[in-house]
Amino acid sequence: QKEVEQDPGPLSVPEGAIVSLNCTYSNSAFQYFMWYRQYSRKGPELLMYTYSSGNKEDGRFTAQVDKSSKYISLFIRDSQPSDSATYLCAMSRINDYKLSFGAGTTVTVRA
Amino acid sequence: EPEVTQTPSHQVTQMGQEVILRCVPISNHLYFYWYRQILGQKVEFLVSFYNNEISEKSEIFDDQFSVERPDGSNFTLKIRSTKLEDSAMYFCASRAGGRTDTQYFGPGTRLTVL
């Protein structure tokens, strides 16, 4: 079983739709959870960071963590064409900050 | 806003040659990382560096790889004798320190080994 699983998509949605992305993980030692956005041939850009189970909201973005199910999600409301990118989940253990990444989900928002 | 910078953006080299990839982390950050991403694959951890020494390295980071912080601002990754399979995007990241802060990535260096 892979340490971090993420459906690579691709995912295509019309402008204004809600984008739903998720990752599962197998290692219960993961305690920090991040979502990064990556445009083609660019570096990952941090979008959201969460530590505890529950929801965290930042503008149009909501991150959810369910540690009991080892499942994390990212929702993008009112999606825009500029949201078209690859979204990477990443996670790390306490006192060990090396990141384990998912494969990334490629999202296209159609105007 | 402070950012991580990397040079060069693209490096082409012949197999067996040495390459040095350079990074300037965010100025008050204490922890530094290198990751790589082979085309179409996951971002993979290579090495972490703190207080002028390697904290952790992956099995990818073999004797052909080394890292250095030669002065107060640069952080370098050296590959001594490049192989075709070293072709990838290499990302530098830095972190300020503390329990809950996060890593900020540079734009990457695309390494092509011919």
Residue B61's beta-bridge partner residues?
A: none
- Digitized pLDDT (tens) for each residue of chain A, 111 residues in all: 679 999 878 999 999 999 999 999 999 999 999 999 999 878 999 999 998 888 999 999 999 999 999 999 999 999 999 999 999 999 998 877 899 999 999 999 999
Q: Best interface-test mutation with A: which of B6, B26, B42 has the largest number of A CBs within 10 A?
A: B42
**pLDDT for residue B100:** 57
Quote the pLDDT of residue A63.
Answer: 96
pLDDT at B107 exceeding the cut of 70: yes
Distance CA B25, CA B35 (A): 14
Structural tokens at position B103: 């890593």
Nearest Cα residue in chain A from B103 = A46
Q: Tell which residue, B72, B65, B92, has the closest CA to residue B6.
A: B92
Q: What does the pLDDT read at residue B54? A: 95
Residue of chain B nearest A95, judged by CA positions: B99
Tens digit of pLDDT for each residue in B10-24?
999 999 999 999 999
Q: pLDDT band for position B99 (50/70/90)?
A: low
Q: Of A44, A49, A94, which is closest to B43 when you measure between CB atoms?
A: A44
Taking the alpha carbons at both ends of chain B, their separation in whole angstroms is 37
